[in-house]
Structure 1
Amino acid sequence: MLNNKKCKLYGINGIPDHIHILCDLHPNLNLSSLVKDIKVASNLWMKESGLFDEFEGWQEGYGAFTISVREKETLINYIKNQKEHHKKETFMEEFKRLLNENGIKFEGEII
């Protein structure tokens, strides 16, 4: 799906409560449309595949961050090892920390 949108995928991995995707964003796309398309396509695939019986659908929101090219390999490795990382820091702890580090107020519900 990302290839069809002229976006390059660098890394993807998930654990039960979230996924991480590292990709570039083609200049002709906006982020919210890309996320919507990813959610729709993956939702359909997950339900049709029969591999994810407990999957009920994606949450309404999402988080997106930009990175520098220098950080790409570090982030790819993080994505590969996110299961281990989240043994030390939960998704919500990490998300709130990233928002705080970037001066963004958390406005969502506690999951």
Structure 2
Amino acid sequence: MHFVWSTKNRFPFLDSLELRQKVWNHIRENAKEKGIYTDYISGYSDHCHCIISLGVDQNIQKIIQLLKGESSYWINKHNLTKEKFEWQNEYFAVSVSESLIDKVRYYVKNQENHHKKKTFQEEYDEIISKFGFQKQ
């Protein structure tokens, strides 16, 4: 599964590479402690991408709740941002076929370079339009 979620109001809380790497590593470690297999985690100043393999007793809602809720708590507990940190309530989750996993993995790994050219909002709008999703 490919999960994407953004910061509250897409505010660029995660404003340095060092901070982002610290947060991605924490999410990875927290997931491991909870028996969640993360293939890859990356993102940018206002969002996070995770490739996760769901176990038989896991579901999307519970995984998201565990990862977003705990990471938000951890970021605030350690005062890693200038203002109170929050993730947006919404998230995106889509299954990834075995034949496309390498492309998705490459895309997630290259978020830093990717978002030098295109904002999260621009990309989000393109995906909504390309696949015919309805905006909420």
TM-score, normalized by the shorter chain, greater than 0.5: yes
Q: Which has the higher contact order (CA 8 A, sep 6+)?
A: 2
Q: TM (normalized to structure 2)?
A: 0.68
Give the alignment partner of residue 36 of structure 2, picking from 1, 4, 7: 7
Matches within 5 A, 1:18-57: 18-57=47-86
Verify the 8 A CA contact 1:99 1:105 in the aligned structure 2.
yes
Unaligned runs of 5+ in 1: none
Q: Quick one: percent identity of the two aligned structures?
A: 29
Higher strand share: 2
Unaligned runs of 5+ in 2: 1-29
RMSD of aligned residue pairs (Cα, Å): 1.8
Verify the 8 A CA contact 1:5 1:26 in the aligned structure 2.
no
> How many residues matched?
107
Q: TM (normalized to structure 1)?
A: 0.81
Q: 1:36 & 1:12 partners in 2: Cα distance?
A: 16
1:91 maps to 2:120: yes
Runs of 4+ in structure 1 deviating by more than 3 angstroms, as ranges, are none
